Amino acid sequence: MAKRVVSVSLGSRRRDAVAELELLGEKIVLERRGTDGDFQGALCLIRELDGKVDAIGLGGIDLYLVAGGRRYTLRDARRLKEAARKTPVVDGSGLKHTLERRAVGELASLIDWRKTKVLLPSAVDRFGLAEALDEAGARVLYGDFIFALGLPIPLYSLSFLQKLAFLLLPLFTQLPFGLLYPTGKKQEEVQEDWRSRYYLWADVVAGDWHYLRRHMPKDMRGKTVLTNTTTEEDVAFLRERGVRRLVTTTPRLSGRSFGTNVVEALLVALAGRELGEEDYLRYIDQLGLKPQVLDLGEAQ
C-alpha cells in the first residue's frame, strides 16, 4: 500500500495538488490541501487526518523561527502540531537547514556568490540559507524588518540581525501568524510599493515564494529567483517579469515544486519516524536531491 503524505496549508486552495511517485522502493502519494487562511479549518483537517496518513506537513506557516543556535516556536503553529496525536507533523525546518544550506554550495559553479547581491526577505524563516549565503561571501540584504514588519530598515549584517532576533523573536512568536506572513487569498495578491525597490538592488532574490511574489516588481530582467513551492502559473509569472533563471531547492513533480514541509514529511513517512539533521543529510544523498535550475529565457 502506498504511503500517504498530506500538507495542510493556510494558503490558497487554488494551489492544491496531488502527485504520485516511487522512492527507495516505496510508492508515495503527496497531497497539498489549502484552507484559504482558515486556521480553525486547518486544525479540523489535521485532526481528521491524524492516524490516517503517514506524515503531515504544515504549509503556509512555520513551526519554528531560528536565529543562530536558538529555535523559537510559534504559538499558532504549536496548536496545529498538537492537533495530531498519532501522525508526525513537520514544517520543513529540518530541510530548510540542510537542503537549502547545501544548495548554496552546489550553485557556486553557476553563481559567483562573492560578486552577487542577494535579497532575502526573511532570514529567520531560512537561517540555514542566510548563514550559507553569508559564508559564501554574498552581499545579502536581510529584509525581515521590511517584509514582515513593514519597516524600511534594511539589514546587511547577519550577526546584527541575530542579536536583534534574540531580543524580538520571543515576542513575535506569540503574535497571530497572519500578522507576520500572508495567508489564504493574500498569497495571491501582488502589491508593488516601496518594498519593491529592494528587488531592483539585487541580482538574486531568495527565500519563501509568497514573500518574494507579494512585492515583486514587474521588471525583474536578468535576475535569478531561488525558492521553492512554485507552480506552472508561478513560472509564467516570473517569465512575464523577465526573470532569467528559477532555482528551486526541492524537486519538480507534476509541473511544480512542492514546499520543504511536503518533502520533509515525505522523508519522515519513508523512515517511519521523525528525523534529525544527520538523517536528512543521508536521505538528501540517497535521493540525489539537488537544486533544480530552470532557464526562463528558453522555451520549456
CB 27 within 8 A of CB 2: yes
Is pLDDT at 194 greater than 90 in this prediction?
yes
The average pLDDT across 195-215 equals 94
- Rank 11-20, 88-97, 232-241, 253-262 by mean pLDDT and report only the highest: 232-241
Q: Write down the pLDDT at residue 186.
A: 61
CA gap 212, 186 in Å, rounded = 13
Q: What percent of the chain has pLDDT over 90?
A: 58
pLDDT tens-digit readout, 162-191: 998 898 888 888 877 666 666 656 656 788
Is pLDDT at 300 greater than 50 in this prediction?
no
Q: Which residues contact 14 (CB under 8 A, 6 or more apart)?
A: 34, 188
Average pLDDT of every residue of the chain: 90
Lowest mean pLDDT among 120-124, 171-175, 242-246: 171-175
Which is higher by pLDDT, 120 or 124? Answer: 120
pTM listed for this prediction: 0.86
Is pLDDT at 299 greater than 50 in this prediction?
no
Query: Domains of the chain: which residue ranges?
Result: 3-92+254-287, 96-252
Which is higher by pLDDT, 271 or 211? Answer: 271
Is pLDDT at 34 greater than 60 in this prediction?
yes
pLDDT tens-digit readout, 106-116: 999 999 999 99
The average pLDDT across 3-24 equals 90
CATH topology of domain 96-252: Rossmann fold (3.40.50)
